[in-house]
Amino acid sequence: MAIPQPLPTDLFADLLVAVLSGHRPVHSMLRHTRGRAYDELAWLAERGPLRTRGARPVVRDIGYYEPRPGAIEAFARVGAGDRLRAMAFRLELGRDRRWRCTAVELGGPRPPRPEAD
């Protein structure tokens, strides 16, 4: 019997929570992001939105939508103690068949957008 492989949404949700809670450095996501996602993640991580003094944040639930083949838009409910936060992220499959995060958002302030957008 084959062992089921975790979905890319599960893996990325855990990685993003680890970075946003300060348990992993932002630069650990360099090879897992593309485009503006790394800058968005660094901006969010600098503010420590999931840092807690008590329970370590964990992914409680994940949902996703596939708008086209090779793209996944996902949301995760992240819990830490009695607090619950929402996180959204987009994954895209590269030519090398690796998934990369291309956008990440967490409720609250958003990073400023460059003028060229």
* pTM of the predicted protein model: 0.85
State whether the Cα torsion 56-57-60-63 is positive or negative.
negative
* Residues 81, 41: Cα–Cα separation, whole Å: 23
Q: What is the pLDDT of residues 59-115, one digit of tens each?
A: 999 999 999 999 999 999 999 878 888 999 999 999 999 999 999 998 765 666 665
Task: Pinpoint the alpha helices (H) of 33-112.
Answer: 37-47
**Cα-only R_g, the chain:** 14
pLDDT above 60: residue 117:
no
For the chain, give the mean pLDDT.
Answer: 88
Predicted pLDDT at 110: 64
**Residue 105: closest CA among 73, 65, 80:** 73
Strand intervals (E) in the chain: 58-68, 71-80, 83-93, 99-106
Share of the chain above pLDDT 70, in %: 91
